[in-house]
Amino acid sequence: MIATAAQLEAARLTQHFLDAGAAPVSADILQPAGTLLDLYGEDIRARAYTTHDPLRGEQMLRPDFTVPVVQMHMTHGADPARYTYQGRVFRQQTDPARATEYLQVGYELFARDDPAAADAEVFALINDALSHLNLTPVTGDIGILMAAVLGLATTDRRKNALLRHIWRPARFRQLLNRFSGRTPAPETRVALLEQSDPMAHDFPHIGLRSAAEVSARIDALREDSATPPITGDEVQLIDAILSIRDTAPMALANLKALTSDIPTMAPAVTRLAGRIDALAVRGINVDTLQFETDFGRTLLEYYDGFVFGFRADPAAAPIATGGRYDALTRQLGQGAAIPAVGGVIRPGLIVDLEGAS
């Protein structure tokens, strides 16, 4: 069989990662659906191909390598560890012009020390592999917005509700509008809370959600309705943070200025500063590197820190993406956790781009 251009490009990228000290790993194409569903929720069913096996139950054609590689590392690996993999991933597409099956080459780094250096290592390796292509990298940091939310002068319940929807920008905004009083509480809720005892009714309690759970939610709603709104000033601060789209040093300066109003953001901003320094050490021209606070919020729910993407054209699928996913290792590690950062490149898109130019 003659290797396709994409396969040759994948081999080049794999060699690039092997040269950086990565151990080659692979993953089964058929992955148990349960783990993926638990991590990503129903949304994954719209993106992955599901198949049924009478013995093994529901299986998915691997939609990415990150989850099986993390699982493998958490079971067998010793850190620090660097892995590379290549193979096909399978994604359903609503746009028939987009590929449903394509090659990915990835690099994942598990390391407890010096997260800034780890972030910079992954970014710089991918940047080097793509340096001949004249792509525009964009970086972001989900941790900045998370830290800002934690600094709001409001209840933990509201902060947790906002944090839960960090990756759904429209819903995040809806909640922020509600908590700041910009949109009124729904009529049904007002009516519920006007009742002296909403639990006094004759409806049978059917299903697993118990009366105690309903009652606890009503208590939470009462607490929330008695909570003062998040102030307009604070909403403006969140807006100011989210609207930052600038070169990394300018973005950093803006965020530093905002930490006087939201002190909880300081550690995240310090981490960003450390990462920018580490990127410069790796030879990245940080003075022109784009940083957007909002970047990566709609990628995948598991990124919770540094995020990046490389595109040739803002409208097209990114050629490479990656980020830090410490929380994912905590969820898959059943108590154990290890800081991790990684990224993937699509060799097929590189070949298309080289063919077009």
Partner 1 sequence: MIKLGIPSKGRLMADTIAWFADQGITLRRSGSDREYAGEVTGIDGVELVLLSAGEIPRELAAGRIHLGVTGSDLIHEKLPLNATQITEIAPLDFGHADLIIAVPNAWVDVATLDDLDAACAAFRATHGFRLRIATKFHRLVRDYLQANGVADYQLVDSQGATEGTVLNETAEAVADITSTGVTLTANHLKMLSEEPIHKSQATLFASQTAAMTEAEKSTFDALVDMLGG
Place of tokens 């939310």: 149
Of residues 52 and 76, the one with the C-beta less far from partner 1: 52
Q: How far is the CB of 42 from partner 1 (least distance, A)?
A: 5
Q: What is the CA angle 111-115-118, rounded to 5?
A: 70
Place of tokens 């290549």: 86
Of residues 50 and 254, the one with the C-beta less far from partner 1: 50
Q: Which residues bind partner 1 (CB under 8 A)?
A: 37-38, 41-43, 45-46, 94, 96, 161, 164-165, 168, 170-171, 174, 178, 186, 188-189, 192, 198-199, 201, 203-209, 211, 213-214, 216-218, 220-221
| Beta strands, E only, 33-173 | 50-53, 57-61, 81-90, 101-110, 136-141
Q: Is 157 helix (H, G, I), strand (E, B) or coil?
A: helix
Place of tokens 């102030």: 231
Q: How far is the CB of 333 from partner 1 (least distance, A)?
A: 16
Q: How far is the CB of 205 from partner 1 (least distance, A)?
A: 5
Q: How far is the CB of 44 from partner 1 (least distance, A)?
A: 10
Q: What is the Cα–Cα distance from 52 to 317, expressed in whole angstroms?
A: 30
Q: How far is the CB of 211 from partner 1 (least distance, A)?
A: 7
Q: How far is the CB of 167 from partner 1 (least distance, A)?
A: 9
Q: What is the Cα–Cα distance from 95 to 97, expressed in whole angstroms?
A: 5
Of residues 112 and 164, the one with the C-beta less far from partner 1: 164
Bridge partners (DSSP) listed for residue 310: 137, 320
How far is the first Cα of the chain from the last one, in angstroms, to the nearest whole number? 27
Q: Does residue 80 have a cis bond before it (omega within 30 degrees)?
A: yes
Contact 65, 73 (CB under 8 A): no
Of residues 82 and 178, the one with the C-beta less far from partner 1: 178
Of residues 91 and 189, the one with the C-beta less far from partner 1: 189
Q: How far is the CB of 18 from partner 1 (least distance, A)?
A: 38
Of residues 150 and 218, the one with the C-beta less far from partner 1: 218
Of residues 204 and 355, the one with the C-beta less far from partner 1: 204
Question: Residue 255 carries which DSSP code?
Answer: H
Tokens found for residue 231: 């102030």
- DSSP assignment of 174-202 equals HHHHHHTTSSPPPHHHHHHHHSS-TT---
